[in-house]
Chains A and B, each alone.
Chain A
Amino acid sequence: MPADPQEPEVDADQAVIDRILSGDRDAFGILIARYSDPLYRHAVGMTGSPDDAADILQNSFIKAYQHLGEVRGRFDAWVFRIVANGCKDWLKNIRRTHLSYEEDDQPSGYETPDEELARGELRGDLDKALAALPASLREAFVMKHVEGRSYEDMAELLETTVGALKMRVHRAREALQKLLEERAA
């Protein structure tokens, strides 16, 4: 039976989860396809490293699969929290001076070689500036500007208020601007 286009996403995800829990393991690929891109962007934004982001994403989805029966409510919010916590654990373990972009051999996920080239100098400066931000500001900036989420969506995922997040994003911008201006000087 074709899916009802009006069916809320949470119900659509739950139907896939029910299939997986009934033994259709391959259906988990549907959830990966549905949610991996924004989660990968989050992990790259938080770690600055496509390699580490790939590891976090992989471990997070495997944990999600192992604990799928515990999902209550939105699967995307639940798996986001697993990835976000993976990033926070990574940040606790790493000293921010060790960004590993240069050492990465993972494909970056950019669409075309031209886009790779176009990143240029700003990319490096932005990465360094992002890495210098407190984690909460980096997280807010990445969710707003790299993932393109609304403040309302961010508030739901991070379980805080829109006002608090607006303040965090504004502070992140002001700190980034300061760092970028210093680099340009």
Chain B
Amino acid sequence: MMHDNLDPHVEPTTGAQTNRHEEPVTDREVPVAAAHTPAIIHAWLDGEQVDDRELKAAGAYQIWSEVQAETDRRRRMRTPTPISGAIMEAIRRQG
């Protein structure tokens, strides 16, 4: 039976990383405080069709429309070109 090495100073091996059934990080942390996000906001953020007037009247619409605009921008982020070059350079050095 395999156990993950939880020592943060030990670099896990790739074999272990790729083979272990990595639990999605569980909620070990303290519970977080939560606001009430209306169901229509969740539905809209999940890409479902919602009534536009009802949506804009919902609480927290303004916050979420701004967050949506920001996450849309982040979704267009590209890998900085030097990173790809550095990876290929490191691979070539390995011979």
Q: How far is the CB of B9 from chain A (nearest CB, A)?
A: 8
Q: How far is the CB of A100 from chain B (nearest CB, A)?
A: 16
Residue of A nearest to B9 (CB): A93
Q: Tell me if B2 counts as interface (CB < 8 A to partner A).
A: no
**Which residues of A35-49 have CB atoms within 8 Å of chain B's CB atoms?**
36-37, 39-41, 44-45
Known: A85-B22, A110-B76, A174-B34. A32 touches B87 (CB 8 A): yes
B91 touches A145 (CB 8 A): no
A110 touches B77 (CB 8 A): yes
Q: How far is the CB of B8 from chain A (nearest CB, A)?
A: 5
B-side residues, CB < 8 A to A, are 6, 8, 11-12, 14-15, 17-19, 21-22, 24-29, 32-37, 41-42, 45-46, 60, 63-64, 66-68, 70-71, 73-80, 82-84, 86-88, 90-92, 94
A-side residues, CB < 8 A to B, are 25-26, 28-29, 32-33, 36-37, 39-41, 44-45, 50, 54, 57-58, 61-67, 70, 78, 81-82, 84-85, 88-89, 91-93, 106-111, 115, 118-119, 122-123, 126, 132-137, 139-140, 145-148, 151, 158-160, 166, 168-171, 173-181, 184
9 extra A-B contacts, CB within 8 A, seeds A65-B94, A173-B41: A29-B88, A32-B84, A57-B79, A70-B15, A78-B18, A85-B22, A145-B45, A159-B22, A173-B64
